[in-house]
């Protein structure tokens, strides 16, 4: 009997021991599983969030997905980064840089790198930078006598303004649109994803990725495009910073004016202004006037020599007083390049007033919201895919022959070219979609 009782006790103790051993093993497995979940966090953020938040309400889950861009069933796919296949934005040669604090501009990227690649739960995914090939741009700093330019467009009756165009600024601007032979074609030369619309005051990011899905990099080999882009790094974006233009940068400006002066829009502009008696018929004087209007430095933000029409309109500036704010920055090429460098965060288009058309991937006039180096541009408008020579011609024409508000037609787009003067210089000029 004693033996039977002892046997039963041993069996019972064995079962308990097995259970304890199993519990220990189960805890080990759970521990390893938890670590695996952490290590694979970037690959399975959504599942991990659900496991750690079993009691979240449906409303909280929807808000989390919307704020953190985690994938959800039936959600639209994330947009591909533009310029796929490139691995960073850089020049092939060392370029002279201005002395502003680069660490300040790249502080967010540095903070990211300090985490050794670990993502914080709930942090929006970073847009990856991409490289744009521009090996030959450095040569544009050589003296104009050493430059090679494209052939001049033939001057014919087709470039002479009609009487109707001379009497109607809108018709003249639309003629410039037709003469823009370098304008890109949506879907063929580039692709954009406008995301979703928002009101100006809304803070939510309505774009899951970049504005530009891709751009044919061959366009950077076009003379006026590449010369324009080579000018963009010549400026300090701080409004209060006095600009210092080197002799090489001055040569870049001269070469750019010479290049665009060989195109149809600029030749039309010259004929228009000379027939109006605003400038002389001497083409060299005309080119000097363009350089003066766009590149001469003036006072902005209380500092003399701190800005120019070109810097403000095409490059963009940062106001440092009170709350930081982006001003200017209305050029699509600058937007594309800064987006490629990871400095621009596109946040969606601004909904049109009343019954205006909702933009899509074919639209070439956009009103958008974005952040540049972490500073908000709450509303900005830009013409997408147009050539640099077209924008210079359009804005110069409105500056000399128009008013502050210039309601014109560009192809199918009704536009108001807003033009602010700074004495005899351009203070600011940009398009506004008319809805």
DSSP string, 401-422: H--SEEEEEETTEEEEEEEEEE
Candidate from 9-13, 55-59, 232-236 with smallest mean pLDDT: 55-59
Q: Is the pLDDT of residue 388 over 50?
A: yes
Nearest CA among 298, 295, 274 for reference residue 286: 274
Q: Do residues 293 and 425 lie in contact, with contact meaning Cβ atoms separated by under 8 Å?
A: yes
Q: Report the pLDDT value the prediction gives residue 127, as an integer from 0 to 100.
A: 53
Query: What does the pLDDT look like over 369-382, one tens digit per residue?
Result: 999 999 999 999 99
Beta bridge partners, 405, equal 418
Question: For this structure, is 112 an active site residue?
Answer: no
Choosing from 112, 312, 319, 355, which is the catalytic residue? 312
The CA distance from 146 to 136, in Å, is 14
For the chain, give the mean pLDDT: 77
Neighbours of 241 (CB within 10 A): 20
Nearest CA among 134, 129, 135, 137 for reference residue 83: 129
Q: Report the pLDDT value the prediction gives residue 336, as an integer from 0 to 100.
A: 97
Query: What does the pLDDT look like over 395-415, one tens digit per residue?
Result: 999 999 999 999 999 999 999
Nearest CA among 398, 425, 409 for reference residue 308: 425
Query: What does the pLDDT look like over 88-131, one tens digit per residue?
Result: 333 333 333 344 444 444 444 454 444 444 444 434 444 556 66
Nearest CA among 66, 80, 71, 18 for reference residue 45: 71
The structure's pTM equals 0.71
Question: For this structure, is 242 an active site residue?
Answer: no
Residue 186 DSSP one-character state: B
The CA distance from 400 to 115, in Å, is 53
Query: Beta 317-319 vs 325-327: how paired, if at all?
Result: antiparallel
Query: What does the pLDDT look like over 327-346, one tens digit per residue?
Result: 999 999 999 999 999 999 99
Question: For this structure, is 312 an active site residue?
Answer: yes
Q: Is the pLDDT of residue 248 over 60?
A: yes
Q: Do residues 397 and 417 lie in contact, with contact meaning Cβ atoms separated by under 8 Å?
A: no
The CA distance from 367 to 353, in Å, is 11
pLDDT category at 217 given cuts 50, 70, 90 is confident
Residue 59 DSSP one-character state: H
Q: Do residues 280 and 286 lie in contact, with contact meaning Cβ atoms separated by under 8 Å?
A: yes
Neighbours of 238 (CB within 10 A): 19
pLDDT category at 359 given cuts 50, 70, 90 is very high
The CA distance from 185 to 200, in Å, is 29
Q: CA distances (Å), 431 to each of 235, 348, 383, 425, in order?
A: 23, 18, 7, 18
Choosing from 330, 355, 407, 418, which is the catalytic residue? 330
The CA distance from 74 to 81, in Å, is 21
Residue 312 DSSP one-character state: I
Q: Do residues 232 and 334 lie in contact, with contact meaning Cβ atoms separated by under 8 Å?
A: yes
Q: Is the pLDDT of residue 58 over 80?
A: no
Choosing from 198, 241, 341, 377, which is the catalytic residue? 377
């Amino acid at each position: 009997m004693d033996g039977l009782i002892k046997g039963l006790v041993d069996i019972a103790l064995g079962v308990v021991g097995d259970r304890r051993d199993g519990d220990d093993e189960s805890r080990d497995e759970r521990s390893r599983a938890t670590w695996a979940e952490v290590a694979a966090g970037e690959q399975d953020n959504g599942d991990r969030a659900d496991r750690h938040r079993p009691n979240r309400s449906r409303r909280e889950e929807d808000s989390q997905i919307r704020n953190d861009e985690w994938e959800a069933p039936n959600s639209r796919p994330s947009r591909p980064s533009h310029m796929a296949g490139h691995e960073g934005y850089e020049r092939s040669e060392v370029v002279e840089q201005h002395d502003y604090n680069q660490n300040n501009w790249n502080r967010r990227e540095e903070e990211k790198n300090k985490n050794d690649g670990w993502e914080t739960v709930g942090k929006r995914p970073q847009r990856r930078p991409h490289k744009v090939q521009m090996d030959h741009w450095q040569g544009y700093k050589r003296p104009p006598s050493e430059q090679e330019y494209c052939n001049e467009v033939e001057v014919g009756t087709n470039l002479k303004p009609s009487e109707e165009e001379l009497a109607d600024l809108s018709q003249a601007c639309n003629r410039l649109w037709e003469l823009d032979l370098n304008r890109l074609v949506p879907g063929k030369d580039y692709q954009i994803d406008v995301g979703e619309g928002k009101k100006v005051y809304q803070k939510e990011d309505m774009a899951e990725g970049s504005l530009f899905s891709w751009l044919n990099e061959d366009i950077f080999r076009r003379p006026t495009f590449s010369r324009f882009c080579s000018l963009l790094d010549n400026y300090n974006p701080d409004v209060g910073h006095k600009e210092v233009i080197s002799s090489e940068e001055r040569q870049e400006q001269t070469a750019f004016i010479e290049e665009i002066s060989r195109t149809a829009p600029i030749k039309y502009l010259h004929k228009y202004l000379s027939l109006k008696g605003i400038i002389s018929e001497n083409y060299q004087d005309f080119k000097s006037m363009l350089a003066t209007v766009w590149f001469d430095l003036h006072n902005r933000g209380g500092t003399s020599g701190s800005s120019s029409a070109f810097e403000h309109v095409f490059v963009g500036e940062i106001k440092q007083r009170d709350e930081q704010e982006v001003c200017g920055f209305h050029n699509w090429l600058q937007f594309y390049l800064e987006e490629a460098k990871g400095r621009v965060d596109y946040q969606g288009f601004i909904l049109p007033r009343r019954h205006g058309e909702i933009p899509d991937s074919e639209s070439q006039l956009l009103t958008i919201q974005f952040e540049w180096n972490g500073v908000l541009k709450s509303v900005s408008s830009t013409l997408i895919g147009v050539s640099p020579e077209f924008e210079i011609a359009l804005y110069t024409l409105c500056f000399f022959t128009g008013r502050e508000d210039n309601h014109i037609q560009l192809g199918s787009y009704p536009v108001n070219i807003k033009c602010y003067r700074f004495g005899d210089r351009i203070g600011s000029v940009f398009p506004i979609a008319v809805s």
